[in-house]
Amino acid sequence: MAINYSIPEFEIVRNTDRCIGCRACERQCANEVHYYDPDLGKMMADDTKCVNCHRCVSICPTRALKIVKNNDTLRENANWTSENILEIYKQAATGGVLLSSMGNPKPLPVYWDKILINASQVTNPPIDPLREPMETKTFLGKKPEKIERDKDGKIVNNLSSQLELQVPIMFSAMSFGSISKNAHESLARAASELGTYYNTGEGGLHKDFYQYGPNTIVQVASGRFGVHKEYLEAGAAIEIKMGQGAKPGIGGHLPGTKSIGEVASTRMIPEGSDAISPAPHHDIYSIEDLRQLVYSLKEATEYKKPIIVKIAAVHNVAAIASGIARGGADIIAIDGFRGGTGAAPTRIRDNVGIPIELALASVDERLRQEGIRGQVSIVVGGSIRNSADVVKAIALGADAVYIGSAACIAMGCHQCRSCHMAKCNWGIATQRPDLVKRLNPDIASKNLVNLVSAWNHEIKEIMGGMGINSIESLKGNRLMLRGVGLTQKELDILGIKHAGE
Amino acid sequence: MKRIYVNEQWCLGCHLCEYNCAFANTNSENKCRENDMAKALKNKVINPRIRIEEKDDIHFAVSCRHCEDPLCVKGCIAGALSIVDGVINIDQDKCVGCYTCILSCPYGAIMPADSGSVIQKCELCTKNSCGEPACVKGCPNNAIVFEER
């Protein structure tokens, strides 16, 4: 056998004074890191298997555990970093494409952190959201361009179908298959309680969740998994997935080992078969083709549901968005390069796509210039991390945001980025029944409701500070933003001034 | 009356309820203070009043159900078991260790105390300073609940 060059990434530190040998860590670790050695009479750990999900740390009743970065080091080199070298070892040993999960972890610029928000002083009083009305409700969909009246002068209702959001935050697409049934149930229940929407992702809608239809966005992706008439009719809106921020230009692949039982039947594929979503939709090679699918879906649902087209943020996103708006979509969802995934080739995730902040600003600007901004709503996702990111996104021109990673974190995800291993110790990104049951939707849905409610309070506070009492007045209000430490080019693209200007 | 109910669907078999029970019922002065579990239970073989029953992928906790018409109380020859506000109490000063209750409990929820000369059972943490039963408070997945049904 060849020498294994790999180095454990983490080291498990056990305080033997505190460990009482209850073995909860051993029972709770799906990676089989912890074990009890009867000869030594104590708990031991195999660091090589640890993914640093923190399940054992969180569950240990005596706080006897911590996980630290392994300080075993290769010779330091700013160019040939340990990460670069270890990845080469891995590929030299296996010949495989490197896989990763969740969002891009590289230290690329986060523009949200270089944008600051305005507040009122003296001449324009701030508003206290606890004492005065403050509106965060918003509607997504095509807005009428003019008021029409009938021959009696009465206003004709020419409003096309809309999504009504009590908060400008929705849960982004995560398929049943990539996440567990309990995770889906948690999202569905939370969306219903919050008066917003969750998104089925491309894996179809489990029959138990049709009851949450009024708060569900059903997705139609390139694999068309689980798509049928009742499915389309079940949702409040239909999303055509053209791309995903974590892996623009790449399809999806749910391994046969995960396509079991209800995952396979919900996707309408044979059990154990790989669910492969092609990179393109094979019937869409132009805006005209996209328009056909948009209108096919509208016809199928009698024009009752808005159609969302979701794309990844790529270089010429503004032109693509313009095409989508003209293709008849009611809502454009843009997913930035930090967006999460259940599995993606590492090189794609870390190197393809552009930041959502720049994509959003350029799309909003382009649609305004073309006079078609009112034809579509814009929803952005791809690492919205807190309420300030939401406020900045809306001020840059978004109508609402999608949160996926943040929602997973609220449910217990510790961002260990090992979803592709299918052994999620938190019961989120797994189909193993013993792991899925770790996510109790009674607890997780409450956590999601808490998170979004907390953000909503904060959004109201921030808006109040600016003297704005309605989310509609914040939309595209870039005067409320200033950049710090940005070049003139970046400021121009974002359409904001530098702080001090 | 509020009782402890277990839900097999959510039980992970982590056995933390056993340790929380053992900890709540130790004689450590600082019982129920999380920081001291290591001190209280280090190098001890625990004898909890709640036990996980398990086989393969099925796990659930078993503790006294506080029956309305309890066989243990009926069978107690020493008058050590009694019902106080619905909670079945054990007076260990009266218990003679005949184990009739252990044999008569259909749920296997009564067991000998460490001394072996008396029995012990769940008393819903009414005799320690926990307030809400410690197994319920410490369950990480709401698999053990304390509620009115």
Contacts of A17 in chain B (CB under 8 A): 38, 42
Q: Are A419 and A429 in contact (CB under 8 A)?
A: yes
- CATH number belonging to domain B68-121: 3.30.70.20
pLDDT at position B31: 55
Question: Which of these, A309, A292, A256, A320, lies nearest to A141 by C-alpha position?
Answer: A309
What does pLDDT average to over chain B? 92
Task: Give the burial class of A349: count Cβ atoms within 10 A of its Cβ; 0-12 exposed, 13-18 middle, 19 or more buried.
Answer: buried
Q: Does B24 touch chain A (CB under 8 A)?
A: no
pLDDT in tens, A189-244: 999 999 999 999 999 999 999 999 999 999 999 999 999 999 999 999 999 999 99
Distance CA A217, CA A297 (A): 13
> How high is the pLDDT of residue A26?
97
Verdict on whether the full-model pTM lies above 0.90: yes
> Where are the domains positioned within chain B?
1-63+127-149, 68-121
The per-residue pLDDT for A288 is 97
* B10 in A contact zone (CB under 8 Å): yes
- The rounded distance, in Å, linking the Cα atoms of B120 and B92 is 8
In this prediction, residue B127 carries a pLDDT of 87
User: Which of A14, A20, A55 is best to mutate for the B interface (most B CBs within 10 A)?
Assistant: A20
* Domain range annotation of chain A: 10-96, 138-144+168-498
Q: Which CATH architecture has domain A10-96?
A: 2-Layer Sandwich (3.30)
pLDDT in tens, B94-141: 999 999 999 999 999 999 999 999 999 999 999 887 778 999 999 999
Alpha carbons A308 and A141: distance in angstroms, whole number: 9
Query: Are A20 and B140 an interchain contact pair (Cβ–Cβ within 8 Å)?
Result: no
* Chains A, B: CB pairs < 8 Å: 59
- pLDDT for B131: 78
- Check if the beta carbon of residue A210 is closer than 8 Å to that of residue A191: no
How many Å lie between the alpha carbon of B30 and the closest alpha carbon of chain A?
Answer: 14
The reply to whether A98 touches chain B by the CB within 8 Å rule is no
Contact B37 A64 (CB under 8 A): no
- What pLDDT is recorded for position A252? 87
**CATH architecture classification, A138-144+168-498:** Alpha-Beta Barrel (3.20)
Tell whether the model's pLDDT for residue B29 goes beyond 90. Answer: no
A452 phi, psi to nearest 5 deg? -70, -35
Per-residue pLDDT, B34: 53
Residue that is written with structure tokens 């892996």 in the block: A247
Within the 121-140 window of chain B, which residues sit less than 8 Å (CB to CB) from chain A?
A: 138, 140
Rounded distance, CA A270 to CA A272, Å?
6
Backbone phi, then psi, for B55, in 5-degree steps? Answer: -155, 130
Angle, alpha carbons A444-A449-A454 (nearest 5°): 125
Residue B25 reports pLDDT greater than 80? yes
Determine the distance in angstroms separating the CA of A307 from the nearest CA of chain B, rounded to an integer.
38
Chain A CB within 8 Å of residue B68 CB = no
Which residues from A are below 8 Å from B16, CB to CB? Answer: 22, 24, 59, 61
Task: Collect the ranges in chain A with pLDDT lower than 70.
Answer: 1
For the record, the structure tokens of A338 come out as: 């930090």
State how far the Cα of A113 lies from the Cα of A389, in Å rounded to an integer. 8
Task: Reply yes or no on whether the pLDDT at B30 is more than 70.
Answer: no
Q: Which residue of B has its CA nearest to A444?
A: B141
Which among B8, B9, B14, B18 is the top mutation candidate for probing chain A, defined by the most A β-carbons within 10 Å of its own β-carbon?
B14
What are the strands, taking DSSP E only, across chain B? 2-6, 51-55, 58-62, 81-84, 87-90, 110-112, 119-121, 144-148
Assess B30–A contact: CB distance below 8 Å, yes or no: no
B31 touches chain A (CB under 8 A): no
User: What integer pLDDT is reported at residue B97 of this predicted model?
Assistant: 96
- Complex-level ipTM: 0.91
